[in-house]
Structure 1
Amino acid sequence: MNDPDRTPIEDTRFGEITVRQDGQLSLQVEGERIPRVTLERDPGSEADPQTAIGTRDPEHLTMRIDGRKVGLRPAKGGLARRSYRVDVEYDGARYRLVPDSVPSSRLTRDGAHLGDFSSDGDELVLAEWQEDAELRPADASVGYALASAFGTGGQPMWMMIADGVSSALP
């Protein structure tokens, strides 16, 4: 991974968490109180420079939590924020990370709001947990991995349309 001496992130609920990326090929999330996550892109697939992990195609991605392969389904991305959602199935739960503001994305488990994540698709990920959420260690593993691999946030559709119109004007 990029920096084996990377300073861990101090998560308010789960302590020290380390996120490491190896370019657009893989990433790893680990901490003493959370399950380890690895996310790998098939090295034979073409890398998309707009996505930190290099693709949103689930056929070219493998995610493991504590060594066990999990279901990962990133949406293709388009005009609407919701089109950038990423879904994960693990241990009987359905997780979703979906942009909900310009800088951040909301993490849910089975529809319950767990917290908000911010990341530019790099090793620096910030989590703000819901105070009343009943959290599990895997919640942090999934949230940090998805935020790092796919980045967070997105402009609202009206803002993207306005940008498109203004750039088309002389």
Structure 2
Amino acid sequence: MNDSDRNPIEDTRFGEITVRQDGQNGLEVEGEGIPRVTLERDPESEVDRQIAIGTRDPDRLTMRIDGLEVGLKPAKGGLTRRSYRVDVEYRGADYRLVPDSVPGSRLTRDGVHIGDFSCDGDEIVLAEWKEGADIRPEDASIGYALASAFGTGGQPMWMLLIDAVGLATP
């Protein structure tokens, strides 16, 4: 990744974290207290301009945490917020980032809600950790990477239906 003029994000638990995107080709997340994450899109894959990383096809994405390739499974996306979830398996733990409000997404580890993220699919990611949760450095690495690569939040289905009806009505 090329260096960015972006200022590091100040995470409340892990200090300075830097998110760098290389267009829709890949991204990198690093900080003094967290493992380094890279997420790369296969350069031969078709680019979806609406997704920061360019695709939701798991066969076209490679995610590494401290050099170790991890299982990454973005859902295809559709009408429901849940259809935009992204799953990661890392060292026996199952992570999920799933939209739960218009601007934000919830990060869970093994089904336990550990934090909330908001990001428009760029290098500016906001994280709020759940009070009393057991938060690990890799939680931050994974959360920041997924939020930056796929963005966060989504309209509830009822709002999408109202919009669709409005467009169909003369």
Give the TM-score normalised by the residue count of structure 1. Answer: 0.98
Contact persistence 1:2–1:23 (CA under 8 A): no
3-state DSSP of counterpart to 1:121:
coil
For 2:145, what is the secondary structure of its paired residue? helix
| Structure 2 stretches lacking a partner, 5+ long | none
Q: Within the alignment, does 1:146 sit opposite 2:146 as a pair?
A: yes
- The alpha-carbon deviation at position 91 of structure 1 amounts to 1.1
Matched AA of 2:100: D
Q: Distance in 2 between matches of 1:70 and 1:118?
A: 23
Distance, in Å, in 2 between the alignment partners of 1:21 and 1:99 is 21
- State the Cα deviation string for residues 55-111 of structure 1 (Å, max 9, x = none): 000000000000000000000000000000000000110000000000000000000
Q: What is the CA distance between 1:5 and its match in structure 2?
A: 3.1
Offset at 1:167?
1.1
Residue 109 of structure 1 corresponds to which residue in structure 2?
109
Please give the TM-score of this superposition, normalised by the length of structure 2.
Answer: 0.98
Give the gaps of 5 or more residues in structure 1: none
Matching residue of 2:119: 119
Q: Quote the RMSD (CA, aligned, Å).
A: 0.8
Correspondence list, 1:4-153, <5 A: 4-153=4-153
Aligned length: 170
Q: What residue number does 2:163 align with?
A: 163
Deviations 1:99-156 (A, max 9, x none): 0000000000000101100000000000010011101000000000000000000000
> What is the distance in 2 between the residues matched to 1:2 and 1:162?
43
Give, in whole Å, the separation in 2 of the partners of 1:3 and 1:150: 21
Q: Quote the sequence identity (%).
A: 79
